[in-house]
Amino acid sequence: MVVGTPGLLAARGLGYRPGMASSPARSLETFPNPEPGRDYTVRIRVPEFTCLCPKTGQPDFATLDLEYVPDGLCVELRSLKLYVWSYRDEGAFHEAVTNRILDDLVRACAPRFMRLTAEFNVRGGIYTTVVAEHRAPGWQPPPRVDLP
C-alpha cells in the first residue's frame, strides 16, 4: 500500500499528480503499437460503465468487455476511463451507446479488429447484452491454435 501526501507521492512518481485530469472527457488518446508486425489481442474489462435510461432517467449499469487487435495504435487506458465516465449523465439506449463507443474507439485507433460487448445489468426483469464488431477491410484472423 502506498501512503503519503499528494506532494510526496508526486515526488516519488506515484499516485496523484498536479494537473492530472479528473473529470469526464470524450477524447480518446492512443500510443504507438509496440509490436505492429504481430497480430495479438488486447482485452480490457470496464466493470463500472453507467449511463441513464432515455425513457425513465434511471441509471443503467454495465460491464464493457473490449477486445481488439491493434494495427498502428493502441488505446491509452486513462483516457478510456475518462471517456467511459463521460456517459454517466447521458441518456442512451443500450444498442446506441454500445455502437457509438465502438465507433469512437475505431476512429481513434483504427484497429485490425475490435469487438465491444456491453452486458447491462437487469432492468425491469430483463438483461441486455449488445455485441458490436469492426473488422478492417482485408484483415483475416490467423488460424486458431488449440493446445491439448
Planar angle of CA 81, 91, 105, nearest 5 degrees: 40
| 104 included as an active-site residue | no
Catalytic residue among 39, 51, 60, 103, which?
60
The whole-angstrom separation of Cα 47 and Cα 118 is 10
| 39 included as an active-site residue | no
DSSP 2: -
What does the block give as the cell for 40? 495479438
DSSP 141: P
Catalytic residue among 53, 65, 71, 104, which?
53
Q: How far is CA 124 from the centre of its chain?
A: 26
Backbone angle region of 138, left / alpha / beta, with phi > 0 → left and psi within -120 to 50 → alpha: left
- Which residues, 6 or more positions from 20, have their beta carbon under 8 angstroms from its beta carbon? none
- The catalytic residues are 53, 60
